[in-house]
Amino acid sequence: MKAKHYLLAATALAATIFVSGNLLMQKVLAGSRIDFTENHLYTLSNATKTALKEVAEPVEITFVYTRGVGQEYPAVRAYAARVRELLEAYRTQSGNRVIVREIDPSPFSEAEDEALAAGITAVSTNGTDPLYFGLIGRNAVDDQRVIPFLAPEREVTLEYDLTRMVARLDDPDPPRVGILSSLPGMTAPGGEGGYTLLADIAKSFELVPISEEFQAMPEDLDVLLMAHPPDLTLRQQWLIDQYVLRNGRAVILVDPAAKTAVGSGLMDVMHNHPRSDLGVLGTAWGVALSEDAVADAASALPVPVDTGNGRMEELAHPLFLGEPASDMNQQDLVTADLTRNVNFGAPGAFVTAALPDGVVFSPLIITGPSPSYIDAAKAVRDMPPGEVLKAYRTEPEPLVLAGRLSGRLVTAFPAGAPALDEPSDPALAELMRAEAANAPPHIAKSQTDAEIVLIADVDLLADDFYIVPGRGVVVADNGALVLNALDALSGGGALSRLRSRSPSLRPMTRIDKMREAAEAQYFRQQSELENRLATAQSRLEELQQIGATDGFFAGDIEADLTEEERAELGKLRADIVALRGRLRGIERDYRRDIDRMEGTLKLLNIWGGPFVVVLIGGLVWQRQRRHTQADS
């Protein structure tokens, strides 16, 4: 065979092998991938994998996306690709039990009718057509769940939202939440007539009230919600202990100074129970509630204060805290999507002692850097801001207002179940013994990993702390905090362990740091020069008034000035011109280093690749040339 024909045949054969190999690998390795990203953006968490393996019936997820409109917005286009890739990973991981389809709802199409009927939001754009960008989930019995709009800023919770949708469609019955509380607003039947938060919980969950005299825990609870529980007997604490060891899902709110649990008078405070804590359970878990309340001057909320003579004035009160999103854990789904303050009223703080092996306590919300403890007995009263500031003793570090306890726990009752506190009534005593006989046997260790959300305040549940009275306008994320906690924990073991994911958009940290440093220097110098300029101009105006002229550079401006004042006037004029020039120079230099680095990066990105290719080609050519010369 001639060399020319051999080359053509070899090229054709290589091309055939290459194309066939790609087609074969695409079929065989359809769901395989290697994730080299720093935060494993394209790797499903173990919790999601577990949830997908447990899907029993087919679940269909429809991705609704207007491609033509979305292409005009780079952030939406990139996020749509991210959603599409994640849905494919769900389909593969579930063994095709999660069915994925995509529709493009162009105007007046059947796809648009389907999107609108399901409740997908039509977002107005600069063009004539709206943007549809959401998800519709359906199961085999036509239950439906919808994410109306996939906001790019919520990317950190995308995996959780998808996994929750799949889990709820696979098991559509509403989760059962047992509520144990001594607050009237949290014990209203059916949620009606109580706190707004209780009614909101009733919309998504089945409420199971637990009596203060309970002698057995309700069956099949998904989550236990304890909000300022009453004084519990040892038997009742044992029942809660055993529930946590078996089920591991609880949201517990306790408070050293519960203002909403007492009246306004001193006698009311003495005869009510303003304090609740974790009791012997906290000792076993390694977490304790502080004896004192917490004040934080940095996040003090304005509240109406009686300043005397019947006058009310809004003053910043350190016992009423408005903790911003920057003080919340952005890696935990309970707090990751909160954007507004969470308002507290004389909260406590959680202190960890010796946590059991394998148990982790993660802060969810912390105070500012310089909080203070305040005596709880005083804090529960209407303590004026001035009195709080007098008692203020700064702590060396922030305090934990809310946290998550995770891991395998041990019982708080190593000796077993406490004896029954039988009432004197024989009938009630017999009933109690019958309930005790049906109780599950005592266990000493967790049967499942516990996920417990702890919040050191119960006042935040009250409407007045986050809803404008009479208008129903929500101004803080108090309710969202509790609902997020219930939602995360009620999804089963896998769903409750999910955390928020890092966004796929990677920030240029070095440029961000340079920009922050440049801004700090720029604003500092600008402020200093502007102050000097203002002082110079003020003095210049004084001298001009002395000169009794109305022109800035009038010839007779120095007529009534002394020799020293004339010299000062000339110096001020020169200083003003120089200061204005320096300000213009600072404005020019503000972005100099950043622009230089961005120019360097553009140069590397545009010309770096071709330069490397040319360099490698030159080295290969040079080597072949040497071999040719050596052979000849």
Structure confidence by residue, pLDDT tens digits, 377-432: 999 988 899 999 999 999 999 999 999 999 999 999 999 988 877 777 787 778 77
Q: Write out the two tokens for 33.
A: 């991938």
- Position 52: which residue type? L
Cα 610–Cα 614–Cα 618 angle in degrees, nearest 5: 170
Among the listed residues 439, 318, 304, the one whose alpha carbon sits nearest the alpha carbon of residue 373? 318
Region 183-194 average pLDDT = 81
CA distance 599 to 606: 10
Helix (H) / strand (E) containing 122: strand 122-123
Q: For 380-389, 464-473, 496-505, which range has the lowest pLDDT when averaged over its residues?
A: 496-505
* Coil vs helix vs strand at 615: helix
Among the listed residues 332, 298, 294, the one whose alpha carbon sits nearest the alpha carbon of residue 316? 298
Same-domain check for residues 208 and 350: yes
Q: Residue 388 belongs to a domain with what CATH number? A: 3.40.50
Same-domain check for residues 586 and 604: no
CA distance 223 to 111: 39
76 inside domain: yes
14 inside domain: no
Q: For 30-39, 297-306, 386-395, which range has the lowest pLDDT when averaged over its residues?
A: 30-39
**Higher per-residue confidence, 151 vs 602:** 151
Same-domain check for residues 103 and 208: no
Predicted pLDDT of residue 215: 85
Same-domain check for residues 276 and 325: yes
Q: For 127-131, 236-240, 427-431, 477-481, which range has the lowest pLDDT when averaged over its residues?
A: 427-431
Predicted pLDDT of residue 392: 94
Predicted pLDDT of residue 519: 55
318 inside domain: yes
Same-domain check for residues 185 and 278: yes
67 inside domain: yes
Same-domain check for residues 262 and 383: yes
Strands 360-366 and 400-407, by their bridges, are antiparallel
Total tally of structural domains belonging to the chain: 4
CB of 320 within 8 A of CB of 371?
A: no
**Higher per-residue confidence, 437 vs 37:** 437
Same-domain check for residues 483 and 613: no
The residues, any chain, with a CB within 8 Å of residue 596's CB and separated by 6 or more, are none
Could you identify the residue written with the tokens 């203070």? Answer: 372
| Domain end marker among 103, 134, 169 | 169
**Higher per-residue confidence, 172 vs 489:** 489
Among the listed residues 255, 187, 249, 185, the one whose alpha carbon sits nearest the alpha carbon of residue 461? 185
Q: Write out the two tokens for 168.
A: 């709820």
Residues spanned by the domain of 607: 595-632
Region 190-200 average pLDDT = 83
Predicted pLDDT of residue 269: 41
307 inside domain: yes
Q: Percentage of the chain surpassing pLDDT 70?
A: 80
Structure confidence by residue, pLDDT tens digits, 504-563: 555 556 666 665 665 555 555 656 656 666 676 676 677 666 655 444 444 444 555 667
91 inside domain: yes
* Coil vs helix vs strand at 143: coil
CA distance 507 to 514: 13
Q: How far, CA to CA in Å, does 610 sit from each of 334, 597, 602, 616? A: 48, 20, 13, 10
Sign (positive/negative) of CA torsion 287, 293, 295, 300? positive
306 inside domain: yes
Same-domain check for residues 603 and 632: yes
One DSSP character per residue, 234-266 reads: HHHHHHHHHHHHHH-EEEEE-BSS-GGGS-SSH
Q: Write out the two tokens for 334.
A: 């309970």
Predicted pLDDT of residue 40: 63
Predicted pLDDT of residue 594: 64
Residue 608 has pLDDT above 90, yes or no: no
The residues, any chain, with a CB within 8 Å of residue 219's CB and separated by 6 or more, are none
Same-domain check for residues 322 and 384: yes
Mean pLDDT score of the chain: 83
How many CA atoms lie within 13 Å of 120's alpha carbon, on the beta-carbon side?
Answer: 26
Q: For 180-194, 438-452, 600-614, which range has the lowest pLDDT when averaged over its residues?
A: 600-614
Task: State the pLDDT confidence band at 317, using cuts at 50, 70 and 90.
Answer: very high
Same-domain check for residues 114 and 247: no
Same-domain check for residues 401 and 452: yes
CB of 576 within 8 A of CB of 540?
A: yes
Q: Residue 157 belongs to a domain with what CATH number? A: 3.40.30.10
Strand pairing partners for 135?
63, 147
| Domain end marker among 169, 191, 215 | 169
Strand pairing partners for 406?
360, 451
Report residue 3: phi and psi, to 5°.
-60, -35
Region 283-306 average pLDDT = 93
Task: State the pLDDT confidence band at 38, using cuts at 50, 70 and 90.
Answer: low
CA distance 248 to 232: 20
The DSSP secondary-structure symbol of 419 reads P
Strands 223-227 and 312-323, by their bridges, are unpaired
| Domain end marker among 169, 203, 232 | 169
Region 213-226 average pLDDT = 91
The residues, any chain, with a CB within 8 Å of residue 409's CB and separated by 6 or more, are 244, 245, 248, 284, 285, 356, 359, 445, 446, 450
Among the listed residues 158, 164, 137, the one whose alpha carbon sits nearest the alpha carbon of residue 42? 158
Residue 122 has pLDDT above 80, yes or no: yes
Region 6-33 average pLDDT = 73
Same-domain check for residues 188 and 324: yes
Q: Write out the two tokens for 153.
A: 């800023």
* Helix, strand, coil % over all residues of the chain, rounded to 5: 45, 20, 35
Predicted pLDDT of residue 526: 58
423 inside domain: no
- Give the CA diameter of the chain: 115
